Amino acid sequence: MNLTVIGTGYVGLVTGACLADMGNEVMCLDVDATKIANLRQGILPIFEPGLESVVKRNVETGRLRFSLDAEEAAHFGVIQMIAVGTPPDEDGSADLRYVLAAARQVGRFMPDYRVIVDKSTVPVGTADKVEAAVRDELALRGVDLPFSVVSNPEFLKEGAAVEDCMKPDRIVLGVEDPQAEALLRELYQPFQRNHERTLVMSRRAAELTKYAANAMLATRISFMNDLARVAEKVGVDIEDVRRGIGSDPRIGYSFLYAGTGYGGSCFPKDVQALLRTAEEHAAPLRLLRAVEEVNDDQKTTLVRRARERLGSLRGKRLALWGLAFKPNTDDMREAPSRAVMESLWADGATVSAYDPIASDECRRLYGDRPDLVLAASPLEAVRGADALIIVTEWKEFRSPSFAEIKSRLNTPLIFDGRNLYEPAVPARYGLEYHSIGRTVSGAA
Ligand SMILES: NC(=O)c1ccc[n+]([C@@H]2O[C@H](COP(=O)([O-])OP(=O)(O)OC[C@H]3O[C@@H](n4cnc5c(N)ncnc54)[C@H](O)[C@@H]3O)[C@@H](O)[C@H]2O)c1
């Protein structure tokens, strides 16, 4: 099948590459000339495990190509997938500017029947707006061509995006036109050979499903973070509670980790956008509002603890392990590390940070500044620091040499926002260890 993917970011590039890998002919379109030029030379704009080899082999076979030309792209695919960004607008609602521009591009140039697929995360009613935008463009051209708009939200996780795309839990299709449904079922058939995973529903239901999924996951995280505060007060280890409730199959273990809050390009903005939709319909989501409040507070909880323990942070040096919003990605959008760094800088502290992948992204975001040192190793980051703060649970942080950490730190202090260690272990090495939802260990 020939298909076009509009927007070659995390979702567009991964989806395009995986669809090409199944034998489809794919054209990925973007407005970013540098990104397209780099991709044509095999340079990927993002880090995503396994993606480089999928892109490479499909570029080599000629099944995956990249374009800046909207007209060529509208001609190429019967299916036109929209995977552009939907950042938060000033009021928190999803900014649909890019989605509607993409829809207009298709309407402006499509030569005949097209199925336009919304893969971007978009509020309820967006498929109707996309349809109207395409119809407007066709009217401007004075033509009447058949087309269909489908909502097909994406559920892939950064850090495991290729795997998720190849083996999706479910494929949600908001489709009300049998011809478009048949085409998309055919497209996705190779991804569900083992069992059928397609859920067909109305377009509006598909749009809401995507927000509901992220809102539920964010709720689990904030619930645990809220509970962690109580656990600390009553002398309970939140990890015991997590295991105790996660073993209930009705609850399950996933997304029950207390920590320094959720971040990334999706949860914060999707929670905000859903809150906004609810308010617009005079049906405010009170629970979700609290989820957001807890998370905002949680992102800087480690800095508050550092202040309580060290006093003024002015002139202090804090080591930071982890910049990416989660492991296996270089994405720092809304990352808790940013809230931590910005609040340390506001206090007059210097940050000495280490991340296995995201240092370049950090440099791109913050530039060169005297109060930011990007270290080449975890131990280098710690040298001469007044405390170590851990915000991302990269594997390489799980079994560090506590003796080496202790010998390099000015003050033997760890603030762990990911509960990576059994509290007794760092304490055994003479380190004072603060984590989330557990009592402090090793304190003098
Ligand atoms: N990143 C994720 O993990 C993830 C997961 C599921 C869903 N989503 C959703 O998917 C959508 C895309 O997210 P992303 O993280 O891939 O975004 P991104 O910012 O990484 O990529 C978007 C790309 O679209 C391009 N673009 C913008 N306007 C365009 C146009 N008119 N024509 C062609 N290209 C255009 C941009 O240049 C950019 O390269 C968002 O709605 C997001 O919420 C993201």
pLDDT, position 126: 97
Q: pLDDT tens digit string along 69-100?
A: 999 999 999 999 999 999 999 898 999 999 99
pLDDT digits (tens, 9 = 90+) for 266-321: 999 999 999 999 999 999 999 999 999 999 999 999 999 999 999 999 999 999 99
Q: Do residues 437 and 232 make contact, with C-beta atoms less than 8 angstroms apart?
A: yes
What's the pLDDT at 443? 87
29 Cβ closer than 6 Å to some ligand 1 atom? yes
Provide Rg for the chain, Cα atoms: 24
* Atom of ligand 1 lying closest to residue 101 CA: 31
Q: Are 206 and 153 in contact (CB under 8 A)?
A: yes
Which band of pLDDT confidence, cut at 50, 70 and 90, is reported for residue 165?
very high
Q: Does the pLDDT of residue 194 top 90, yes or no?
A: no
**118-141 tens-digit pLDDT:** 999 999 999 999 999 999 999 999
Distance from C-alpha of 212 to C-alpha of 34, rounded to nearest angstrom: 35
Q: Residue 6: CB within 6 Å of ligand 1?
A: yes
Kindly indicate the confidence band of residue 444, based on its pLDDT and cuts at 50, 70 and 90.
confident
As a whole number, the mean pLDDT across the chain is: 97
Taken as a whole, the chain contains a residue count of 444
For ligand 1, say whether the CB of 32 is within 6 Å of any of its atoms: yes
- C-alpha 80 to ligand 1 mean position (Å): 14
Kindly state the average pLDDT of the residues 13-21.
Answer: 98
Once rounded to an integer, what is the mean pLDDT over residues 39-58?
A: 95
Q: How do residues 409-424 score in pLDDT, each as one tens digit? A: 999 999 999 999 999 9
- For the stretch 209-268, pLDDT in tens is 999 999 999 999 999 999 999 999 999 999 999 999 999 999 999 999 999 999 999 999
Local structure of residue 192 (DSSP, 8 states): G
pLDDT of residue 193: 84
Residue 147 pLDDT greater than 90, yes or no:
yes
Element (H, E) at 43: none
Sheet with 372-374: strands ordered across: 372-374, 350-354, 317-321, 387-390, 413-416, 432-434
Question: Is the CB of 74 inside a 6 Å radius of any atom of ligand 1?
Answer: no
Q: Whose CA is nearest to atom 44 of ligand 1?
A: 11
Q: What is the pLDDT of residue 160?
A: 96
Task: Give the CA distances from residue 233 to residues 190, 228, 230, in Å, rounded to whole numbers and listed in that order.
Answer: 52, 9, 5
**Residue 399: pLDDT above 90?**
yes
Distance 204 CA to ligand 1 centre (A): 20
Instruction: Measure 168 CA to ligand 1 centroid, in angstroms.
Output: 19
